[in-house]
Amino acid sequence: MSKEFFSIAAGIGTKNNKGEWLEVFYPAPQHKPNPELVEAVAAVTGYAGGNQVIELDSATCHALEELFLQRNLLEQTLVLSSLETSSNPRVLVILETDATLNNTPEAYLKLHLLSHRLVKPHSINLEGIFPLLPNVAWTSEGAIDLEELPHRQLQARSQGRVLDVQSVDKFPRMTNYVVPKGVRIADTARVRLGAYIGKGTTVMHEGFVNFNAGTEGKNMVEGRISAGIWVGEGSDLGGGCSTMGTLSGGNNIVVSIGNNCLIGANAGINIPLGDRCTIEAGLYLTAGSKVTVLDKDKKPVGTVKAITLANQSDLMFWRNSQSGAIECLAKKTAFELNEELHAHN
């Protein structure tokens, strides 16, 4: 058996009437678990290597609970104790390698690893994830297969209840699975499972964070962080601004925002920014935008495509109010977040 493993997690989920997985909740996933632990788990479950999904019964849950307790893994012990008495589908997923996804439980485990801050966006293989995430109704009674939804709605009404359908989507809201420490999220429906929300980040009501995207440390998010976008610490995304990810027509450009940047309200970017950059409110900067570069005296020195300025620090972009041209000037001061406003005590 290999001496290195990518991840292991026990979870509980939902299946439809056909026995197909709709979602899985992993309260305490492990990244790069101790190989000796995996070997001990294999002795209990019959795991023989590779990436494997093992459905659990109560007896196996109890045996794993005792195994984790012996190794003083209290969080995992509590998980297995809860799973032991449940009648819902229970599962153990062991990923020996970070290979292409094969099934829904594996897909949900990798999304959990991101939201638990165990791995960062772009650091793991999410190839093939979309077909493995069924489009379901996320309701006040959990995930429901869309074909089964009308019957469940009627059943609820006949019992004097209203089944609240909160969304119809492949991705659930992150906070129904993971609530990272040290964050503020004003509207939890706007942060998907698989988002990485750094400690100290505030996501306001109009902010949005997609899967495989996120923030590092203290940030203010009042705009949209699309799939694949990474935001450095101390940056502020103004109200209604947007970041174009690779799923939104960004081609193969991996867009990121450096530390202490300011993206103005209703602005947008399609190029990676270095540190301490500012985008004027309302300015959308695409990779092909023509930008007039200014010297320290604000004199034009040339015109380039915005992509040629990618990853450079201390730049300020605005639109000339007279000519309409996009201009770029090197800044002399850095933008800083208001420490009192963004404290999460």
List, for residues 79-121, the tens digit of each pLDDT value: 999 999 999 999 999 999 999 999 999 999 999 999 999 999 9
Among candidate residues 23, 206, 216, 222, the one labeled active-site is 222
With vertex at residue 120, the alpha carbon angle to CA 212 and CA 180, rounded to the nearest 5 degrees, is: 85
With residue 9 as reference, give the H or E element that holds it: strand 7-15
For the cut 90, the answer to whether the pLDDT of residue 260 exceeds it is yes
Phi, psi of 196 (to 5 degrees): -110, 110
The mean predicted confidence, pLDDT, of the chain is 93
Helical segments of the chain, H only? 35-45, 58-70, 74-84, 104-115, 129-132, 149-158
Q: Which two tokens stand for residue 121?
A: 């966006």
What is residue 335's DSSP assignment? -
Its pTM surpasses 0.85: yes
List, for residues 218-242, the tens digit of each pLDDT value: 999 999 999 999 999 999 999 999 9
For the cut 80, the answer to whether the pLDDT of residue 25 exceeds it is yes
Estimate the share of the chain in helix, then strand, then coil, as percent rounded to the nearest 5. 20, 30, 50
List, for residues 165-223, the tens digit of each pLDDT value: 999 999 999 999 999 999 999 999 999 999 999 999 999 999 999 999 999 999 999 99
Positive or negative, the CA dihedral 304, 307, 312, 314 is: positive
To the query of whether residue 222 is one of the catalytic residues in this protein, the response is yes
Local structure of 14: helix, strand or coil: strand
Q: Domains of the chain, with CATH numbers?
A: 7-133 (3.30.70.2010), 138-169 (no CATH), 174-330 (2.160.10.10)
